[in-house]
Structure 1
Amino acid sequence: MDSFFKISERGSSVGQEFRAGLTTFLAMAYIIAVNPALLVIAGVPSTAAVTSTCIGAGIMTILMGLCANRPLACASGMGINAIVAYSLAAVDGNDWRVSMAVIFVEGLAILILVLCGLREAIMDAIPVSLRHAISVGLGLFIAMIGLSDGGIIVANESTMVSLGDVSSPTFLVGLISIVATVVLYVMNVKGALLLGIIIAVICGIPLGVTAAPTGLVSGLDFSSFGAPFMAGSDGTLAIVKVFTTPVLLVFAFSLMMSDFFDTMGTAMAVAKQGEFLNDDGTVENIKEILVVDSAAAAVGGLVGASSITTFVESASGAADGGRSGLSSVFTGILFIVAAFFAPVISIVSSAATCGALVLVGFLMMGDVVDIDWSDFLEGFPAFMVIAGIPMTYSISNGIGFGFISYVIVALVTGQAKKVKPLMWVATIAFVVYFLLS
């Protein structure tokens, strides 16, 4: 084990790797409650959503540890699961099987691009400022979802958004979730995000927000596994529906654009904490990381868990001493164990996860200081990414705004030479995407 994972070589130990794996699990365990809540909106059965979320995360996190040997964990990605719930599911009669087929197709497309070396090459072609901006924009997007789930912000026809009803039980649970999570986090309590959710769930019982569990332990529900190859509502195989419906192909392209770039900032953030970021800003074992991450996107669609991706919360485990893939193996095992407690997990309301999402959004904002705002070519496109992602409720839209504005500013300021060839390719792809939308 020591020689395979290079534990001693990297100055770690089995005990240290286990602690780091547990830290990572506790930091990202909120996805066990949040992802099923979103997938249920899309039509996925509740217990099946919990099973697919846990098993998918467990398997791909273990594979990340074994193949890349770095402390990175995978789970259903925030943002794309929101798109599945609120946008994609509505395209074809709210058939969640078709939605998962779209995820499966875009995951396979990304995997092919990685195996061809294109994803890694495009990563190198993107300006550093835009890499940081994507992380910041995602942070705002996640925080916005959390505040909405907690009833703290609501839709308003006059002002677009406004403050929710401060006397409503949902608002109170959301507020408790934020306060508890923040207090625990600043006190350096391990697993602050998960504990914040638990506290909010308990407080939600007398408020009527938390429902009573139907049991403690249950068997796994694999009914969502193989969703792309199930018959849809009209009897057509879901994956066939994707290739015969132009709008679904557009969605697949859009999600591919999002998935294509999301891992970039995460890998850099975790690499910095885990001491595998090179002096020139490149990430060690990036090829293996991208292969597993890309395969995870396809697996997410295959098991009905939405797109599975590398989580930025992995940085918490790396900061806690994780230096090898063994910590990821421990994290993956914990996710698989969690799958057997679906009845308990299903009682967690979306309001109870509000604090976790808001705090994750805050943590992702840290990259904003690494953007050179005094340089218009660097600053303005970064701003368009940061503003575009939450304001259009779309990761790919925000990234597209940034890419296109970067090319335009570079052209009008006589700095076109700074735009690398693959950046041109990506920008043209975004223009096509917007024209087809």
Structure 2
Amino acid sequence: MEKFFKAAERGSSATQELRAGLTTFLAMSYIIALNPLILSGAGVPISATITSTCFGAGIMTIIMGLFSNRPIALASGLGLNSMVAVATTTLCGGDWHAGMGIVLVEGIVILLLVLCGLRQAIMDAIPVSLRHAISVGIGIFVAMIGLSNAGIITGNGDTLLALGQVTQPSFIVGVISIVATIIFVAFDVKGALLLGIIVAVVSGIPLGITGTPQGVFSLPDFTAFGAPFQADSEGVMGIAKVIATPALLVTAFSLMMSDFFDTMGTAMAVAKDGEFLDENGNVEDIRSILIVDSCAAWVGGLLGASSVTTFVESASGAADGGRTGLSSIFCGLFFIVCAFFAPVIAVVPGAATCGALVYVGYLMMSEVTAIDWSDLLEGIPAFLSIAGIPLTYSMSSGIGLGFIAYIVVAIATGKVRQIKPLMWVAAIAFAVYFLVA
């Protein structure tokens, strides 16, 4: 096992990888309950979606661990599943099989882009300053997700964002998770992030945040598997409806753009904490990561789980010591087990992961010092990406703002020659994406 995973060589061990895998899983486990809730609005059966979510995440995370040997986990993407749900209700006539067909088409196209080298080539064409900015922006975004899950920050009609109610149980649990995580980190306790989550889960019991499981064991429901090839009431398969409908193909393009750059940002974020980001800001073994991620997209559609993609919460496991694909394998196994014990895992409140996600955001902020803020061509696009990712609540939108700004500033400052050809392609693609999304 050591020869394959090289845990000792990377300063890790099987025990450390197990702990990191569990940390990542707990930080992601909310998707087991949340994905079915989102997709049920489009008519997808909840029991079937729980099974699809667990198996989609589990299978692809294990494959990621084996194929890339990096601590990256995958699951049904938030935002992506909302796009699928909206498309199903507004464009597919409520036929969720067609909605999953959109995901299948998107995944196949993005896989072809990886196999022909275009996806990695675009990543390589991104200026180093923007790569650092993307990491910082995602760090803030991750922390924002954690604070939002706990209700420490909340939506407000007058100010967009506001401080939540400090007396709310979720707010208190979120604060406890942050304090506990900081204390464990300060004392250099192994598994600090995982312990912070556990303390928060326990503290949520008397506060009513950590609920009582509605049962323990549940049999998987595989009826959503093969969704794109299942027919509607008129006998038309979902995939056939997508191919024959231009509007659904446009939706597949929009989904692809979001998936394409979300993964890029996530890989960079996890690579930073997992120590496989080189001095030029390039992610080591990126091709294998992109291949698995691209396969995960169409597998998610095939299983009826929406698009499965790399999760930025993987950075919590990497920050907790995950250095190899072994942590991904452990994480994937936890997901598959949960297909049988979903009622138990579903009681872990989102507020309990707040401390881990805030700490990951803190670690990723260090990238901001690598940006030359005195250079307009570096500073302005970097700032727009850093601000855009959390403020638009979308990694791909924030990245797109930075890309387009880089082209504009380069033209304004007479540095057009510094723009690599694929940066032009990516910026134009983002402009189209913003227009049709």
- TM-score (normalised: structure 1): 0.84
Deviations 1:111-150 (A, max 9, x none): 1100111011111111112222222222323333332332
What secondary structure does 1:93 align onto? helix
Deviates more, 1:41-50 or 1:366-375: 41-50
- Distance in 2 (CA, whole Å) between partners of 1:172 and 1:371 is 36
CA contact (8 A) 1:12 1:322 kept: no
State the partner residue of 2:218.
218
Structural RMSD (CA): 3.3
Q: How does 1:263-302 map to 2 (within 5 A)?
A: 263-268=263-268, 282-302=282-302
1:32 aligns with 2:29: yes
**What is the aligned counterpart of 1:20 among 17, 21, 28?**
17
CA contact (8 A) 1:17 1:323 kept: no
Shift of 1:332: 3.1
| Counterpart residue identity of residue 75, structure 1 | L
Deviations 1:222-255 (A, max 9, x none): 3443333345698754444544555544443233
Change (3 A) 1:197 1:273: closer
Q: Report how many aligned residue pairs link the two structures.
A: 430
Change (3 A) 1:411 1:134: same
What secondary structure does 2:166 align onto? coil
CA contact (8 A) 2:193 2:320 kept: no
Deviates more, 1:336-345 or 1:245-254: 245-254
Shift of 1:376: 1.0
Shift of 1:352: 3.4
1:366 aligns with 2:366: yes
**What is the aligned counterpart of 2:85 among 86, 89, 93?**
89
Q: How does 1:348-363 map to 2 (within 5 A)?
A: 348-363=348-363
CA contact (8 A) 1:35 1:76 kept: no
| Counterpart residue identity of residue 361, structure 2 | G
Change (3 A) 1:272 1:167: closer
Shift of 1:274: 6.0
CA contact (8 A) 1:177 1:355 kept: yes
Name stretches of at least 5 consecutive residues in structure 1 with no aligned partner.
Answer: none
State the partner residue of 1:398.
398
State the partner residue of 1:382.
382
State the partner residue of 2:9.
11
What secondary structure does 1:76 align onto? strand
State the partner residue of 2:206.
206
What secondary structure does 1:221 align onto? coil
Change (3 A) 1:263 1:348: same
| Counterpart residue identity of residue 399, structure 1 | I
Change (3 A) 1:213 1:279: closer
What secondary structure does 1:154 align onto? strand
CA contact (8 A) 1:53 1:305 kept: yes
State the partner residue of 1:228.
228
What secondary structure does 2:158 align onto? coil
What secondary structure does 2:205 align onto? helix
1:41 aligns with 2:38: yes
State the partner residue of 2:417.
417
| Counterpart residue identity of residue 131, structure 2 | R
Shift of 1:56: 2.3
Structure 1 vs Structure 2: percent identity of aligned residues? 59
What secondary structure does 1:309 align onto? strand
CA contact (8 A) 1:299 1:308 kept: yes
- Distance in 1 (CA, whole Å) between partners of 2:157 and 2:277 is 47
State the partner residue of 1:52.
52
Shift of 1:38: 4.5
- Distance in 2 (CA, whole Å) between partners of 1:62 and 1:127 is 32
What secondary structure does 1:55 align onto? helix
Shift of 1:92: 3.6
State the partner residue of 1:105.
105
Shift of 1:412: 1.2
- Distance in 2 (CA, whole Å) between partners of 1:308 and 1:74 is 10
What secondary structure does 2:167 align onto? coil
